[in-house]
Amino acid sequence: MLLIGIAFDNIFKVEAFKIIRPYWYIVAYLPVGVPVLKEVWETFKARDFFTEFSLMSIATIGAFAIGEYPEGVTVMLFYTIGELFQMAAVNRAKRNISALLDVRADVAHVLRNEKYESVSPEKVAIGETIQIKVGEKIPLDGEMLSEKSSFNTSALTGESKPKTINKGESVLAGMLNLDKVIEIKVTKAFADSALSRILEMVQNATTRKAKTELFIRKFAKVYTPIVFFLALALVTIPFLVLGSNYHFQTWLYRSLVFLVISCPCALVISIPLGYFGGIGAASAQGILFKGSNFLDLITKLNTVVMDKTGTLTKGVFKVQKVESKIIEDEFLSLLAAVEAKSTHPIAKAIVEYTRNNKIHPAENIEEIAGMGLKGNVNGKVVLAGNAKLLEKFNISFDPEVAAIEESIVMVAVDGQYAGYILIADEIKEDAAEAIKQLHANGVKQVVMLSGDKTSIVKKVAGILGIDTYFGDLLPEDKVAKLEEIKQDKTRVVAFVGDGINDTPVLAISDIGMAMGAMGSDAAIETADVVIQTDQPSKIATAIKIGKATKNVVIQNIVLAFAVKALVLILGAGGLATMWEAVFADVGVALLAILNAVRIQKTKF
């Protein structure tokens, strides 16, 4: 209708059209104007009088009042098109997040009364057995009861490569069963599943705003009433100065142009959209930011402190050698008994290695932080841990054993040294590249903190090219080291870890980053950023996404202010019409939105 009206006004110049002209443009205005006028009414009821909606409404109604009908319709039409572009951009950003919702299973086949019942996942209790057929999604976190199967884990990790999970290992809600019909024992309620946690984290991410975003919102609240009163002054002051030469319609038009130009749409829309796009782009890479403030802060990162086991190494230990001074089967049974209830990767490796041996029940298991375990097995006091543990209880052992560089668990039975078990861990494939990429992306120092022996830590640091390393650390020692690093106020420090013992360090770092696939619940809850793929190289990817987001936000701010300032001056001097005003407002908003969308299309 707008285009037809403009054609009749300027090309065909039909006289009869002049009769219906005002009504024609009013009808054209209603579909795009009424929704905005409703928003004005709602904001007025909330006692918020100066918003982009009120500025647009006053400007367009004023344009109608002075007979500039096409301009009045055009402003609202372009504003509505801008809103549609914004919605499309937000939907694009949400696509990776909403894809997670699609992988939530609606039904769980639970074993009850010796038959499988189809129920809602929320109604399945911890400890119950559920069955998952080929092509079905895992509805709840659990432990694999079947021998093994292959799973598509892309919804959780962003990785398309299938993962094989064996009996006794954990499976997570949202994984897709690819191989065979399996059974799992439920270990977590639906609300506590890995997938539910991820969804909650991502959905809450937009509530934690970046400083730039918060500033623009505050700025808009002050800026909008100022430009409203400036526009009012543009109508009234010339009357006092010019007297009889004052032409009301001319100065009202300039005032309306000023209002349209000054509307803060481009800033209010595009800056939050830029951060939202960054969060969406990170989600597609398996990186979950818990707020746009961390997306902003990661661009200033110059020091990365990392745990070793489970972060730079796979944390999948295997027994390489057993040296015992007593019968080996008895040695393994006693050791496995005290390690059976521990969740530490080394303990799991020992239990897995000794699963064919009879494991006796252990009592009074006590964890001695940073040293190992103590427990009673068949009336015997068993110690299992490092050299510090045996020294604590004044148990002598061969000094050559303590000099072994690899990870070992030393064992004492009833106060006598009984032998050791040698454990090997494997460095992650992308760990060396991760350190290289961190240095390339502005990180000046990479530090490794570990509870492992200093000799092992030194060896790993040398292989990976890590700047500084510290071994033989207790959890409280890690906290002390990080606090020491943070004393230099020029440092912005991230800590990357995965275990419960890393939780205090994650909490006090500027940015806490947790490995999400193998990481403990406590670490994931405490962290500010969660890496679902467990790949250390994703830390550099997170920095790149943060920098790309910040660049887009700065570009949008500069673009919006530069164009608006220029056209505001021209408008006040009568050199810019409503058409230029439309470009300065809605045109710039569209350009800013399209610029923000680039983040989601960028390959990191």
Packed helices 265-284 and 69-102: angle between N→C axes, nearest 10 degrees: 20
Annotated catalytic, 307? Answer: yes
Helix, coil or strand: residue 377:
strand
> Quick one: which of 77, 35, 98, 91 has its CA closest to 273?
91
- For residues 71-102, one letter each, b for 16 or more C-beta atoms within 10 angstroms of the residue's C-beta and e for the rest, the string is bbbbbbbbbbebbebbeebbebbbebbeebee
Between strands 303-307 and 115-119, the pairing is unpaired
Give me the amino acid identity at 373. Answer: L
Residues 538, 551 contacting (CB under 8 angstroms): no
Residue 172 and residue 133: Cα distance in Å, rounded?
15
Sheet of 176-177, strand order: 163-166, 148-152, 176-177
**CA distances (Å), origin 34, targets 30, 367, 441:** 5, 68, 49
Count the helices and strands in the chain (H runs, E runs): 22, 22
- CA trace torsion 518, 523, 525, 531 (10° rounding): -50
> Quick one: which of 201, 148, 191 has its CA closest to 171?
148
**How many other CB atoms are there within 10 angstroms of residue 47's CB atom?**
6
Residues 326, 413 contacting (CB under 8 angstroms): yes
What secondary structure, in 3-state letters, does 156-177 show? HHCCCCCEEEECCCEECCCCEE
Query: 141, 296, 307, 585: which is the annotated catalytic residue?
Result: 307
Q: For the range 107-114, what are the long-range contacts, defined as Cβ-Cβ under 8 Å and sequence gap of 24 or more? A: 107/139, 108/139, 108/140, 109/133, 111/183
In sign, the C-alpha dihedral spanning 227, 230, 236, 239 is: negative
Residues classed as catalytic = 307
